[in-house]
Amino acid sequence: MERKNTIEDVYEMINDEKTYKILDSIRSGEKAVKDILSEVNFSMKPFNYLVKRMFLEGILLERTTWKTRFYGIDKEGLRGLVERLQDLPETSAAVERLSKYL
């Protein structure tokens, strides 16, 4: 059974610039992992770590065809995250940034 993100995981994710680089890369639609990695310019290890957090939080869609994995933004999941974070004053800057991807 996959564990859920803790509040610390969520804070780490929403305060990591790499999260926004990934979201910027897939803002216009789903992309293959290799294409995202070529745009964001960081290694597979931090990418996998963040993508796992983002997927567990429900803000990414994942699709696999044969050997290629694709990611896209799950607008409903992102909207839910933004709504949950809106009442927390320490997340206001992140809420504003995340809202731009809706």
Ordered by where they begin, the domains of the chain are 7-99 (1.10.10.10)
Q: Report whether pLDDT(2) > 70.
A: no
Q: Report whether pLDDT(5) > 90.
A: no
Alpha-carbon gap, residue 75 to 85, rounded angstroms: 15
pLDDT of residue 88: 85
**Which residue stretches of 1-102 are H helix?**
7-14, 17-26, 33-40, 44-56, 75-85, 92-99
Average pLDDT, the chain: 92
